[in-house]
Structures are given as structure tokens and as C-alpha cells.
């Protein structure tokens, strides 16, 4: 049943966001290069790592640092880190503070959840970070490879973790304000702090799966587990070789799947708005934050009662 009242948590989040403006400035070339890419390959300088989080705290391990391919402070995260048996997690931990970059690949992600009260400009020198929880807007999350070691099997449900409620989460995603501007080859996205990682939802495919650089995508409508429509259309991306991609490749338009998703800024929509902000799209640079969903796990390949 559709909700008509937000929880106190949602209201407080919306109110707080009005006072927490974050500016993310990216090279226009980066926007163009990654608009249709699921993943990024990096030579990551690991400054510090977290402990492996308990399942109730999401089960990840965080590695904070940066990479030339990213150009700003970043955090790389392995999902379900306790299940990783190829020594990739150990390699991240061992690399911390050595100034010897580690090749890390995974889903690129720009989101303002951990942005703090500061601006982010791609290409500036990044000082050594002293905390795995350092303020950042760029992530490689989830990771697919560390130094050539495949960890894509970790893209699975997180046993023991409580996922975010889709009604609450997509209310936040859909209402997050933004302004986009471009000057001297740099694109600035001014937005608000917005959280809600690891959201479960039901997706009804509006298209067949289609190839995307580094994986696959579909357009889908978003529903809660009672079948209530939350979002009419959104792009979902799947990293190559992961269990979610293997599942989606066997599906077709009209089918339904329950997934675990992570929001990220859609550089594809940023790119589109930069090229379409006149006439009937005159206000497109001030529309709400453009986003898409990284599918991190399949929760149910055939959920019932969601038509």
C-alpha cells in the first residue's frame, strides 16, 4: 500500500539536505568517457583501509585513497568481504600506506552520501587520507578485481544486513536537487547530501538487456515488494561477469526481478542535459539529480505478486 506520510527519518533527511550543498566538478572529457561505462580500471593508491565490516554493518571493507584515473579522493569497497578467498582483501590491507598503487577495477560511483561540507574538483592533488571514512563523493563500489584477482563472486546478497526500504530510498533519490553547469572544459554538479545505499526493489524490464562498455544495461520501472510503482523508468547497470549480469542476460522485456541496488549520478543524463537545455528543455540543468542504479545483487529471480 502506497505511503502518504514520510517517516521522521525521511523528513529530517530532506530538511538537512537543504543546508548541505556539495559541488562536484568533473572534467568534461571524463563525463563523456564514462557516460556509457559501467566500470572503471584504476591504479589505486591505498592510504588506509577499514576493518571488514560485520554483516549488520553491510559486510564491506573500505580502502580510501585516490588514483590518476579518478583525480579526487575516493573509496574502493569489496562487498561481502569475508567471503573473498583470493587474497584480494589481504592485498588491499597490505598496500595501505605503502604508496605502491594497486590495480583496482569495479563499478565507478559518484554520489554525495559521504561528501561532507566541501567541494570536489577533479584533477587537484589529493593529500594522503588518514581515515577509511574520509569525506568523498567518488567510489569504486563494488569492486570486481584487485590486482587481477576476480572478486565478482562477492556481488551477492548480504546475509544479516537490513536493506534500505525502496519507498523511502527512491523518495530521496527522486527529490534530490541539483544544478549542472559547464565552463572551460569542466562540468560542475551542485547537489545535496543524499544517502540510502543498498536498497532492495523490484524491477520490471522495459527493454531487453543491451551491451554497455564494461557490462550490460536495461531500462526498468521500479516497484516495491507489494508491486507499488515508485519510478516509471530508470537505467540499471550490471558489471560484466558478475552474478547480477549473468541473471539479467537471460531475461527479456516484461520480466520482473528483485534486486539490490546502489544509486550513482548518471553521467549519461548529465551529458544529455548539457546538450539539451533550450526550448522545451530550458530548465533541464536545474532538474533534480540525474541518477541510475548499479545492480549489486539479485535477491529473487522471479518475485511473485508484483505485476
Looking at residue 13, its pLDDT comes to 44
CB atoms closer than 10 angstroms to residue 51 = 11
Domain boundaries, the chain: 22-154, 166-180+194-300
Task: Give the whole-angstrom CA distance, residue 210 versus residue 213.
Answer: 10
Q: Is 94 helix (H, G, I), strand (E, B) or coil?
A: helix
pLDDT at 86: 82
**pLDDT score of 53:** 94
Given a contact cutoff of 8 angstroms between Cβ atoms, the answer to whether 58 and 197 are in contact is yes
What is the distance between the alpha carbons of residues 183 and 187, in angstroms, rounded to a whole number? 7
d(CA 194, CA 232): 21
Whether the domain at 22-154 and the domain at 166-180+194-300 fall into the same CATH topology: yes
pLDDT band with cut points at 50, 70 and 90 for residue 20: low
Report residue 176 as a C-alpha cell.
534530490
Q: What's the mean pLDDT in 229-245? A: 98
Convert the pLDDT of each residue in 253-269 to its tens digit: 999 999 999 999 999 99
- Taking the C-alpha atoms of residue 178 and residue 285, their distance in angstroms, rounded to an integer, is 8
Report the length, in residues, of the chain.
Answer: 307
Domain 166-180+194-300: give its CATH code: 2.40.50
* Paired residues of 236 in beta bridges: 218, 293
131 CB-near residues (< 8 Å, 6+ apart): 48, 64
Report the relative pairing of strands 138-146 and 74-78 from DSSP bridges: parallel
Question: Is residue 111 within 8 Å of 266, Cβ to Cβ?
Answer: no
Cell numbers linked to 298? 539479485
Q: Which CATH number fits domain 22-154: 2.40.50, 1.10.1240, 2.60.40, 1.20.120?
A: 2.40.50
Nearest to 138 by CA among 165, 106, 112, 99: 112
Look at residue 70 and tell me whether its pLDDT is greater than 80: yes
pTM, to two decimals? 0.92
Amino acid at each position: 500500500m502506497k505511503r502518504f506520510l514520510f517517516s521522521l527519518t525521511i523528513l529530517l533527511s530532506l530538511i538537512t539536505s537543504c543546508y548541505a550543498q556539495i559541488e562536484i566538478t568533473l572534467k568534461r572529457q571524463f563525463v563523456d568517457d564514462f557516460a556509457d561505462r559501467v566500470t572503471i580500471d584504476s591504479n589505486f593508491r591505498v592510504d588506509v583501509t577499514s576493518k571488514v565490516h560485520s554483516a549488520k554493518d553491510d559486510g564491506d571493507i573500505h580502502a580510501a585513497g585516490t588514483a590518476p584515473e579518478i583525480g579526487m579522493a575516493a573509496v574502493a569497497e569489496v562487498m561481502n568481504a569475508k567471503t573473498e578467498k583470493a587474497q584480494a582483501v589481504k592485498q588491499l590491507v597490505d598496500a595501505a600506506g605503502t604508496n605502491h598503487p594497486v590495480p583496482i577495477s569495479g563499478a565507478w560511483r559518484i554520489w554525495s552520501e559521504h561528501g561532507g561540507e566541501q567541494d570536489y574538483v577533479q584533477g587537484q592533488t589529493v593529500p594522503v587520507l588518514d581515515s577509511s571514512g574520509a569525506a568523498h563523493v567518488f567510489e569504486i563500489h563494488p569492486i570486481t578485481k584487485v590486482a587481477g584477482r576476480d572478486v565478482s563472486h562477492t556481488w551477492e546478497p548480504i546475509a544479516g544486513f537490513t536493506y534500505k526500504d525502496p519507498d523511502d530510498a527512491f523518495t530521496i533519490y527522486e527529490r534530490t536537487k541539483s544544478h549542472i553547469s559547464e565552463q572551460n572544459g569542466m562540468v560542475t554538479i551542485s547537489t545535496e547530501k543524499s544517502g540510502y545505499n543498498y536498497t532492495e526493489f523490484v524491477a520490471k524490464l522495459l527493454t531487453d538487456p543491451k551491451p554497455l562498455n564494461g557490462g550490460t544495461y536495461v531500462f526498468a520501472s521500479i516497484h516495491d515488494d507489494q508491486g507499488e510503482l515508485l519510478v516509471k523508468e530508470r537505467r540499471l547497470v550490471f558489471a560484466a561477469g558478475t552474478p547480477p549480469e549473468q541473471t539479467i542476460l537471460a531475461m527479456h522485456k516484461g520480466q520482473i526481478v528483485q534486486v539490490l541496488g546502489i544509486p550513482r549520478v548518471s553521467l549519461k543524463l548529465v551529458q544529455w542535459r548539457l546538450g539539451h537545455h533550450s526550448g522545451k528543455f530550458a530548465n533541464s540543468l536545474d532538474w533534480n539529480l540525474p541518477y541510475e542504479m548499479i545492480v549489486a545483487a539479485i535477491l529473487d529471480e522471479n518475485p511473485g505478486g508484483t505485476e
